[in-house]
A = this chain, B = another copy of it.
Amino acid sequence: MTEKNNIDRSTLLILSPDQPGLVASVSQFIHMHGGNILDLDQYVDRSESKFFMRVTWDSSEFDLERADFQARFAHDIAEPKNMQWELHSSAVRPRMAIFVSKRSHCLHDILSRLETGEWNVEVPVIVSNHADLEPVARRHGITFEQFEIDSDHKSDETKQLALMKDLNIDLIVLARYMQILTPHMIDEFPNRIINIHHSFLPAFPGSRPYHSAHERGVKIIGATSHYVTTELDAGPIIDQEVVHVSHRDSVADLTRRGRDLEKLVLSRAIWHHLQHQILVSDNRTVIFG
């Protein structure tokens, strides 16, 4: 749900072992401190006995500052209940880095959304292992940083990581970035690196999925956005979309038609992330949206 921007909102994401009284305690806590709940979605995975919750409230009359909230909520509820939790405020604008290689369609799509103000996000940098898309970045007034990726990836990733930290990056988007990140980078951004893969995973992982799809003669092709983990194309899936294809579609057609899926599925994943709608547990996502 799109919230109106003129309201100060807080969003709390909770993941904990299931136990009685969780919704009551949390909603009571928010209510007592002057927050009016706008949206609450909660789910219990009974086979795993896990509790997931997302709650958003109008915080214009909320009586706790962020630091106070942290202390009080941790003390009163989170620690006793053994919760993992995150608090987000609509007043804080997240910072996103975009990694690209040579293909531009996902980058164009993201920049178009930035230009129309669709997302509440800052993009201080576009990173690439090639120079090709530098003019696009320049045209939009965004810093472009090119890193030569050497054979062991390490030295450049160290610089990339330093850049991410210097720029206080919250979220990294791999917009058809054709390099595999090292575990070092991935571990620094757990569930904060989004990749787009051009197949309906787990079918056709790895390279050249449109060729494989054509070879297999599938009647649908797809795209998958997921958080990056150290296992290639195996991270928690955020969104997937497909389109029907036919024997008339050559590999070039699949590639062309797939680009539209990639743009769509990547942008929807970014949206969910920026709206703080995603919880990850056991390599699966819970998406409250």
Q: Cβ of B250 and Cβ of A2 under 8 Å apart? A: yes
| With contact pairs A2-B253, A203-B203, A236-B217 given, residues A36 and B23 touching in the complex (Cβ less than 8 Å) | no
- Interface residues in chain A, defined as those with a beta carbon under 8 Å from any beta carbon in chain B: 1-2, 4, 20-24, 27-28, 30-31, 36-47, 52, 103-105, 108-109, 111-112, 115-116, 118, 139, 200-204, 216-220, 222, 236-242, 244, 246-250, 252-253, 256, 259-260, 264, 267, 283-287, 289
User: Whole-angstrom distance from the CB of A240 to the nearest CB of chain B?
Assistant: 4
A20: B residues at CB distance < 8 A: 31, 36-37
CA A95 – CA B222 in complex, angstroms? 32
Q: Cβ of B43 and Cβ of A42 under 8 Å apart? A: no
CA A283 – CA B247 in complex, angstroms? 12
Q: Which residue of B lies closest to A109 (CB)?
A: B112
Complex partner residue of A42 from B39, B218, B289, CB under 8 angstroms: B39
- Which of A1, A109, A238 has the largest number of chain B CB atoms within 10 A? A1
| With contact pairs A20-B36, A40-B42, A109-B112 given, residues A264 and B253 touching in the complex (Cβ less than 8 Å) | no
User: Whole-angstrom distance from the CB of A12 to the nearest CB of chain B?
Assistant: 13
Q: Cβ of A217 and Cβ of B284 under 8 Å apart? A: yes
- Which of A52, A112, A202, A284 has the largest number of chain B CB atoms within 10 A? A112
User: Whole-angstrom distance from the CB of A221 to the nearest CB of chain B?
Assistant: 10
Q: Cβ of B104 and Cβ of A248 under 8 Å apart? A: no
Q: Cβ of B220 and Cβ of A201 under 8 Å apart? A: no
CA A234 – CA B28 in complex, angstroms? 40
Q: Cβ of A219 and Cβ of B203 under 8 Å apart? A: no
User: Whole-angstrom distance from the CB of A165 to the nearest CB of chain B?
Assistant: 30
Query: When A and B form their complex, which 9 residue pairs have the shortest distance between CB atoms, in order from nearest?
Result: A217-B284, A108-B112, A203-B203, A24-B27, A23-B27, A247-B286, A2-B252, A24-B31, A40-B42
User: Whole-angstrom distance from the CB of A227 to the nearest CB of chain B?
Assistant: 11
A249: B residues at CB distance < 8 A: 1
